[in-house]
A and B are shown apart, each in its own frame.
Chain A
Amino acid sequence: MRHLLSTKDLSREQAVSILDVAEDMAETQLREQKKLATLRGRTVVNLFFEDSTRTRISFEVAAKRLSADLINFSAKGSSVSKGESLKDTAQTLQALGADAVVIRHSSSGAAQNLADAGWINAPIINAGDGKHEHPTQALLDAFTMRRRVFGGNSRGVALDGLRVVIVGDLAHSRVARSNLWLLRTLGADVTFVAPETLVPFGARDWGANIVHDLDTAITEVEPSVVMMLRVQLERMQTSYFPSQQEYVRNWGLSDQRMQALPEDVVIMHPGPMNRGVEISSRAADSPNSSVLEQVSNGVSVRMAVLYMLTSGDRGEK
């Protein structure tokens, strides 16, 4: 593995081994001394062309726990706002000696472009590109599911037979896409629930069941995991559903729907949550909710990815 651009590229073995290394990383975070010297002297650049607090901070914590030096580069107030191209930015980072680049960009394919163009030879980690992919989010979601379901016996295990329902704005969600590829690779069954207007073009060929009605999905699938996606108001220039109230009524995880779900269901949300829209406060705060675990697991998974991509000898690749 040279870069992490898409969960589509991962084999089952690679995916399970990332999750296993993340288990080792999680274990190090229970120690008296949380900081490892493993990546001392390596430089990780957070290259963020799009606003993000959670993902940026998560990568920052992960890099620092491994003792890497971290440079935060955000497009606002940088040379990019003066018109510098991605190429020049990348070449500058190369000249500064970056050992890994974590990129978030509003254009789908930006990370792939950076990896293929040859402007920089550091490993590239996709931290979200447009509506395309967000692989570390999918990995941390899979890690969270695996820990919830298998507990201490998680190591080496995939997600065979898990029934995962992903609800909401699939059309604009890179989280849904990355999750779908990864979950299918790991053997889980995925059901997408959304109004037809929010089902991405071509999604019927992706191997997920598509259902329009959340109540139907709950009774028919009996999900092991329900993942609520955020209604991304900032990405919706036109209206995809009649009103927010209607969305809540048909696709929101309400208290009543919580009652109808299996007792041991795992409720997930990539955050930030719109409480009262896609998820009720009671659902978000229930013991079934893994929202905060997802955040702390995010650090372990990102430590694993940084370790696997940057610790070894570059000449071998």
Chain B
Amino acid sequence: MATRTVLQAEDISRALTRIAHEILESNKGASDLILLGIPTRGTTLAHRIAATIEQIEAGSHIPVGQLDVTMYRDDLALQPTRAPHPTDLPDVGVAGMTVVLVDDVLYSGRTVRAALDAINDHGRPRVVRLAALIDRGHRQLPIRADFIGKNLPSASSERINVRLVEHDGFDEVEIVS
């Protein structure tokens, strides 16, 4: 097993800052914007991006929430029972908002499909966008990200580990082959 570091702390920080700028640019500002992280590391990234946006746009407040998609997955019957995570939406809700979904790794696209179903049950957003720190390819559904930290072509036999200070004590993305 070979392990290779592909992003270090500063790379992750730069990528998230760029994503924050891109979100602001595409939304033409910080109004009616909410960030929803997919547990567990997506939520952490969503908080970091929101904090960066608030620094860039002085005086803005970006609501951040967590959206659990477990009960919407299409592979529930193929695996042992999964325990869901809490869903915690900002009080403003999703209806009429620009919702940016945030996940750490975009892979098959099935999590995102489940997330779209989950959002639907909470209301009708004006727009849904997708941000991912890593896009590793191998999509099984016609889904793409709007904001990507790094494209990382990988073999499906490889594993990508995203480590974040809040969970692991340090920031790093590594690829294990």
Residues of A within 8 A of B (CB): 17, 20-21, 23-24, 27-28, 31-33, 36-38, 155, 307-309, 311-313, 316
Could you give 26 example pairs across A and B, Cβ below 8 Å? A17-B83, A20-B83, A23-B86, A24-B84, A24-B85, A28-B71, A28-B87, A28-B121, A32-B121, A32-B123, A33-B120, A33-B122, A36-B71, A36-B121, A38-B71, A155-B86, A311-B76, A311-B77, A312-B76, A312-B77, A312-B80, A312-B81, A312-B82, A313-B77, A313-B79, A316-B80
Cβ-defined contact, A308 with B81, below 8 A: yes
Expressed in whole angstroms, the Cα–Cα distance for A31 and B121 within the complex equals 7
- Tell me the interface secondary structure of chain B in the complex: loop
Q: Distance (Å) between the CB of B11 and the closest chain A CB? A: 34
Expressed in whole angstroms, the Cα–Cα distance for A7 and B122 within the complex equals 34
B43-74, CB < 8 A from A: 68, 71-72
Cβ-defined contact, A311 with B86, below 8 A: no
- Which residues of chain B are near A27, meaning CB under 8 Å? 86-87
- Which residues of chain B are near A32, meaning CB under 8 Å? 121-123
Given contacts A27-B86, A32-B122, A307-B81, 18 further A-B contacts (CB under 8 A): A23-B86, A24-B85, A27-B87, A28-B71, A32-B123, A33-B122, A36-B71, A37-B117, A155-B86, A309-B81, A311-B76, A311-B82, A312-B80, A313-B77, A313-B78, A313-B80, A316-B79, A316-B80
Which of A17, A23, A33, A38 interacts with B76 by CB under 8 Å?
A38
Q: Distance (Å) between the CB of A228 and the closest chain B CB? A: 33
Q: Give the 10 A-B CB pairs with smallest separation, nearest first.
A: A312-B81, A33-B121, A38-B71, A24-B84, A311-B76, A316-B80, A312-B80, A31-B121, A36-B71, A32-B123
Given contacts A308-B81, A312-B82, contact A24 B122 (CB under 8 A): no
Expressed in whole angstroms, the Cα–Cα distance for A38 and B117 within the complex equals 11
Expressed in whole angstroms, the Cα–Cα distance for A24 and B87 within the complex equals 7
Q: Distance (Å) between the CB of A35 and the closest chain B CB? A: 8
Expressed in whole angstroms, the Cα–Cα distance for A313 and B82 within the complex equals 10
Residues of B within 8 A of A (CB): 68, 71-72, 76-87, 117, 120-123
Q: Which residue of A lies closest to B88 (CB)?
A: A27
- Which residues of chain A are near B121, meaning CB under 8 Å? 28, 31-33, 36
Cβ-defined contact, B84 with A31, below 8 A: no
Q: Which residue of B lies closest to A42 (CB)?
A: B77
Expressed in whole angstroms, the Cα–Cα distance for A55 and B52 within the complex equals 50
Expressed in whole angstroms, the Cα–Cα distance for A307 and B83 within the complex equals 9
Expressed in whole angstroms, the Cα–Cα distance for A23 and B81 within the complex equals 17
Cβ-defined contact, B76 with A37, below 8 A: no
Q: Distance (Å) between the CB of B85 and the closest chain A CB? A: 8
Expressed in whole angstroms, the Cα–Cα distance for A23 and B76 within the complex equals 19
Which of A28, A37, A311 interacts with B81 by CB under 8 Å?
A311
Expressed in whole angstroms, the Cα–Cα distance for A24 and B118 within the complex equals 13
Q: Distance (Å) between the CB of A144 and the closest chain B CB? A: 19
Q: Which residue of A lies closest to B84 (CB)?
A: A24
Which of A155, A307, A313 interacts with B71 by CB under 8 Å?
A307
Q: Which residue of A lies closest to B75 (CB)?
A: A313
Expressed in whole angstroms, the Cα–Cα distance for A31 and B122 within the complex equals 5
Most buried by A among B76, B79, B117: B76
Q: Distance (Å) between the CB of A157 and the closest chain B CB? A: 13
Cβ-defined contact, A36 with B87, below 8 A: no
- Which residues of chain A are near B72, meaning CB under 8 Å? 36-38
Expressed in whole angstroms, the Cα–Cα distance for A32 and B95 within the complex equals 10
- Which residues of chain B are near A20, meaning CB under 8 Å? 83
Q: Which residue of A lies closest to B86 (CB)?
A: A24
Q: Which residue of A lies closest to B74 (CB)?
A: A37
Cβ-defined contact, A21 with B86, below 8 A: no
Q: Distance (Å) between the CB of A170 and the closest chain B CB? A: 34
Q: Distance (Å) between the CB of A18 and the closest chain B CB? A: 10
- Which residues of chain A are near B123, meaning CB under 8 Å? 32
Q: Which residue of A lies closest to B81 (CB)?
A: A312
Q: Distance (Å) between the CB of B90 and the closest chain A CB? A: 14
Q: Which residue of B lies closest to A34 (CB)?
A: B121
- Which residues of chain A are near B77, meaning CB under 8 Å? 311-313
Q: Which residue of B lies closest to A23 (CB)?
A: B86
Expressed in whole angstroms, the Cα–Cα distance for A311 and B79 within the complex equals 9
Q: Distance (Å) between the CB of A57 and the closest chain B CB? A: 22
Cβ-defined contact, A21 with B76, below 8 A: no
Q: Distance (Å) between the CB of A307 and the closest chain B CB? A: 7
- Which residues of chain A are near B120, meaning CB under 8 Å? 33
